[in-house]
A and B are shown apart, each in its own frame.
Chain A
Amino acid sequence: MKCDHCDKPAVVHEVLIQNGKKIEMHLCAEHATAKGYILPTVPVTQILQQFAAAGKSIKAQKASAKRCEACGLTFAEFRQTGRFGCAGCYDSFMPSVAAIIERAQSGAVSHRGRTPKRIEGQADRAAIRRQLIKEIEAAVAAEQYERAASLQGRLHQLGLVQKPPTEPLP
C-alpha cells in the first residue's frame, strides 16, 4: 500500500473513528515522521538477539518433537498441558525434565521422603550415579555452584560416593 501523500510504500497505518466515520491513514516513513508518528529504530543488539533466538528455536523444535518411548507423548504436548503422559516421560524427556522440576519445586533436585518397601535398594544405582555426576559437571560448567553442591549432597545421601570430598566444589 502506498503513502497517502506520495508514492513511497506506507509503513504507518492508522484507523480513526471521527464523528462516527471511519478514517484510514497510510503514511510512508518520511511523512509519518513529519506528522509526528515516531518510528522506533531497531537497535542492532535486538536484531542479534532475534537471530540467536531463531537459532535456539531450531534446537527447541528438535526438543519439542522428542517423543516418550513408553506412551508416545511429545515434549510439545507436555509443554502445552503441563502434564506428563506416563512414568516413562520422566526419563524420556531428560534433561529438560530436571530443569522443569527444579524450577517448579524451588530448586529441589531429588526426592528425600519415603520409598516404597518393595523397591528399597533395588534401583539401578549406577545409572543414578552417572546421571547425577553428569549434571554436577554441567552445573559447574554453567557456574551454578549452589546447584552443583546440592546435587553433590544427593550423591552422598544415596551413598554413591565412597569418600566425602576433601574440599567443597569450586
Chain B
Amino acid sequence: MNMNPQGETLPNNDSDVVVSVRIRVARNLAGFPFTGRASDTQRQEVLQMVTRAPLGGAFPDGLAWVNMNQASLQERQLLVERHLVSKHFAESALPRALGLGHNEELGVMVNEEDHLRIQSILPGFRLNEAFALARSFDQALEETVDFAFHQRWGYLTACPTNVGSGIRLGAMLHLPALRYSGEIERVKRAAKDLHLAVRGYYGEGTDAIGNFYQVSNQVTLGASEEELLQHFRDEVIPKLVDYERTARQMLLEKNRPLIEDKVYRARATLKVARLLGAEEATKLLSTLRFGIATGLLHNLSVERVEQLLLQVQPAHLAQLDPFAAEEEMGRLSRANLVRRSLGDYTEGSPEI
C-alpha cells in the first residue's frame, strides 16, 4: 500500500467530482452469430481468434488473459468490484475470457453480449487518454480480424442501442451535494433529455451507494466517434460537474453545520468503529471524500479514500484477509482495516 499521509492535496482531473471515466467499445467478429445465438464451438472459436490475434507494436506484450470459467467466485467478484467486468459477465457460464493490459486500465471482455467489449477505465477526468487506449486496442485488433460492419448501421451489435460507433462514454460522478439538496432528481431528468443514462455504482439496475452515479451516452449512432467524445467531454460532464460544485457551495453557505456534522461524524465513526458492513463503509468513505472536496478535511487525499473504497468491498477484503469471506468476520476485519489505515491520519480539531 502506498500511503503518504502528509501534504496530500486534491489532485487535478476534476477528481473532486469525477471519480473515473470509462470508454467502452462494442465489437463483433464478422462471420459468427452474436454470442447469445452462437454455439459453444463458435464461442470457443471467437475466444481463440481474439486471444491469439497479434496486436503489433501498440501492445508488444499482448494482454494477460483470464479464463473466466477457471476463475473462482471471489476472483470474479473482485473484477466486478473493480468495474472490469459486468455482473452479467461474471455470472455467465459461457466460454469467455477477460484480457487485461496497461496496468488494468484496459479490459477486454470476450463473449459478453457482444463478442468484444473493449473497456478503458481511468481515474479522474481523463477521457482523452481512455478513448485513445480503447481505440488503440480496437485498431490493433482490426488489423487482423474482421468486425461485423454495415454500410448504413456501422459496427453491428447484438443490441440495437449500441449500434453505429459502438462507443459508450461513461463517467463515475460523486454527487453528494445534489443528493443532499434534493436536486438529483431534477438533474436525472435533465440528463434523460440529453439522452444520457444515469445508473448506480455497479451499473444498470444498481443503487447509487455513496452517491456515486454512472453517467453515459445513450446514442451511439449518427455521430462520429470524435463528435461523441467532444460532446461528452466538453459539454455534458462539465455541466454536471458544475451543478455539483454549485450545490456544494450553496450547501456550505446556507447549511454549513449540516455538512460539517455529516463529514465529522463519518470521520469519527470510521476511526472508532469495530464492525463495519460494506455498504456502511462505502457511504462513510463517500462522505469523507466529500469532506476533502469541500475543504473540511485537509490531511487526507482523495486517492487514499479511493483506495479504501475499493479495499472495503467484500472480495477485496477477502483477498487481504481470508477469514473476512464470512460476513460477520468481514465486518470486524473491515473495521480493523479502516481504523489501521486511518490510524495515522489526524486533523486539527474541527472549527467550533
Contact = CB atoms under 8 A, between A and B. Distances in A.
Interface string B220-235: 1111110110000000
B5 interface: no
A111 B164 contact: yes
B3 to A, nearest CB: 43
Given A90-B156, A101-B163, A115-B149, A83 B34 contact: yes
Contacts of A100: 160
Given A108-B164, A116-B146, A116-B147, A83 B152 contact: no
A119 B221 contact: no
* Residue of B149, B152, B155, B195 contacting most chain A CB atoms (<10 Å): B152
B160 A101 contact: yes
Contact of A128 (B32, B152, B163): B152
A114 B225 contact: yes
Nearest to B167: A113
Q: Is the interface of B mostly helix, strand, loop or mixed?
A: loop
Interface residues of B, number: 39
B36 A85 contact: yes
A72 to B, nearest CB: 8
Interface residues of A, number: 37
Contacts, number: 113
Contacts of A134: none
Contact of A106 (B30, B219, B225): B219
A109 B222 CA distance: 7
A83 B158 contact: yes
Contacts of A70: 33
22 contacts: A71-B33, A81-B36, A83-B34, A84-B160, A85-B33, A86-B33, A86-B34, A86-B37, A87-B28, A87-B30, A87-B156, A90-B163, A91-B150, A101-B153, A105-B160, A111-B165, A112-B164, A113-B154, A116-B142, A117-B142, A119-B151, A123-B151
